[in-house]
Structure 1
Amino acid sequence: MENMSETLENVATYIRRSTAEQDDEHQLADIKDWLDRHNLAIKDVEVYPEQASGASEDRDKFLNLIEDIKEGKIDNVVVWEISRIARKGLLAQRFFDACEDNEVVIHVSNGSVREIRPDGTGRLVADIIASVAAEERRTLIRRTRSGQRRAREEGKWLGNVPKGFTRQDGYLKPNLNPDYDEGETGYLDIVEALELIENGMSYRQAAENTPHVTRQTLSNIDQDEEKRAWYTEQEAEDDRIQEALSEISC
């Protein structure tokens, strides 16, 4: 049970969202409610907001928070839930250890454990929650990699589509009918531009004569022997690209 009459001093809160698209308002609203129940407002606490993966060690605000804890600037940290701290076991333990070593209480506004105290109260449950979050992350990575392998085995193209190509139902195809209004580059546009370069034109001149192909694109393709063959010889070492080219090389 939370002690509502306890006066909390030197309070900080850490709010993390994984992506720019992810909304952190629900975290902030929950934390504001928690602060209100303890006679505090968000203006009364030090806020460490961050957009970063929970598995990443490159988290400036998170590292700043740990440093401020070690320097004795913070006595209480409020988080929305344990997974907001980290989705990598060692990162979570680093935070828990810093708080324990410096007599800092962790308050969780949304979770099965509500406090993690320096005397060890709540630490076991928090460790389990952090471990479960780390395992969920590993499982997601394994499933993603498995899906990628399966797609590659089926001949599907993953990642960025090469210039002059398009993707249909996951498979690579030469873009023979580009939508120039959408900024697409046609396969035959690149073929034509490379032929101009072969006949002595500079990259800039060839790009000017084929306005839907940039000078940088031509330079990148022409200087890569393997890629250049996709357009000049309709040949590729990658079976997925070779299959795509087969419809125009017959």
Structure 2
Amino acid sequence: MNTTDEDVASYVRSSTADQDEQHQLDDIDEWAERNGIDTSQIDRYADYAKSGTDVGREQFRALIDAVEREEYDRVITWEISRLSRLGSTYQEFFEAAADAGVVVNVTNGWTDTIRPDGTGKLIADISAAVAEEERRKLISRVNSGIKRARKQGKWLGETPGGFERNDQGYLRPILNPDPDEDGYLEIRAALEAIEEGASYRATADGLTMTRQTLSRIHQDDERRGWYLDARADDARVSEALEIVNDGDDAHDRVGGER
């Protein structure tokens, strides 16, 4: 039983499926234990792979509804931005908490307590605003870097089968593959076999890629041409394929400088 004799809820959110929310849960539990709250009695709300700007987060909406019904005395979250990155829903939550007399605790922030009378709210607002501004700047820097890399002809995103990125970030065909990877020429041979009537399943048995991946390449007119014709409309791929079209010295130059 909670030594504080309170009804307590917690909320965590991850922005992507790859993010691990366990550190949020651990911080919340550590804070609760330090403050005499039995962690087994906390009602847990969590939204996974959800943006902080998503107003329709199911668990967050359920938490607001429960707060409005005055089911809780306290809500604990890891960071203020976990609640919302959208001003309207952020204010909606805190207005509901204030009206219901709910204390909000933040385990990783400039202030750890926002009370119904508004104590701590200004600092929380400033913290949220600073975090959002830093996020906007980060997104701007990332977007600028992507635009710059594309302008320079560098390959971004997932590397196509049979290709690799060299140290400078440019796409190059793999002409001397390791045992655990598919080379450009092996994929070309597989596609040629399929063109001659071989099945995807039988052909994929000789590759590390799946039958589904091989099928997608073969059924994509543009990508199929990368291998069968060594030609591409994408300038980055076309430049990479120059080494294949050059002839006998291809193996000696693969992976070299631009």
* Map of 2:214 onto structure 1: 218
- Rounded to whole Å, the distance in 2 between the matches of 1:114 and 1:216 is 50
Give the aligned partner of residue 148 of structure 1.
Answer: 146
Q: 1:165 touches 1:187 (CA, 8 Å); kept in 2?
A: yes
Match of 1:203 among 184, 200, 205: 200
Matched, 1:79 2:77: yes
Aligned-partner Cα distance in 2 for 1:159–1:217: 16
Q: How far apart, CA to CA, are the structure 1 residues paired with 2:80 and 2:234?
A: 44
| Equivalent residues of 1:207, 1:215 under 8 A apart | yes
Equivalent residue number for residue 255 of structure 2: none
Provide the residue aligned with 2:174 in structure 1. Answer: 175
TM-score (norm 2): 0.79
How far off its partner does 1:96 sit? Answer: 1.3
Q: Measure the CA separation in 1 of the matches of 2:213 and 2:75.
A: 51
Q: 1:111 to 1:173 in 2, by over 3 A?
A: closer
- Alignment-mate amino acid for residue 142 of structure 2: T
Cα distance between partner residues in 1 of 2:136 and 2:84:
13
Q: Secondary structure at the match of 1:48?
A: strand
- Matched residue, 2:252: none
Whichever residue aligns with residue 132 of structure 2, its letter is A
In structure 1, distance between residues paired with 2:202 and 2:42: 60
**Alignment of 1:230 onto 2:231:** no
In the alignment, is the contact (CA less than 8 A) between 1:89 and 1:134 conserved in 2? no
SS of the residue 1:101 aligns to: helix
Rounded Cα–Cα distance in structure 2 between residues aligned with 1:198 and 1:17 = 45
1:29-57: CA deviation from partner (whole Å, max 9, x where unpaired): 23421x23xxx332343233555566252
TM-score by length of 1: 0.81
3-state DSSP class of the match of 1:188? helix
- 1:177 to partner: Cα distance: 1.6
SS in 2 for 1:173: strand
- What runs of 5+ residues in structure 2 fail to find an aligned partner? 247-258
SS state of the match for residue 159, structure 1? coil
**Aligned pairs, how many?**
238
Do residues 121 (structure 1) and 122 (structure 2) align?
no
Q: Aligned to 2:111, what secondary structure does the other structure show? A: coil
Instruction: Tell me how large the CA RMSD over aligned residues is.
Output: 2.7
Residue 28 (structure 1) shift:
3.0
Q: Percent identity?
A: 47
Matches within 5 A, 1:16-165: 16=13, 19-20=19-20, 23-24=23-24, 25-33=26-34, 35-36=35-36, 40-49=37-46, 51-52=48-49, 55=52, 57=54, 59-165=57-163
Is the CA contact (8 Å cut-off) linking 1:87 and 1:133 kept in structure 2? no
Shift of 1:60: 4.1
Ranges in structure 1 where 5+ consecutive residues have no aligned partner: 1-5
AA in 1 matched with 2:20: A
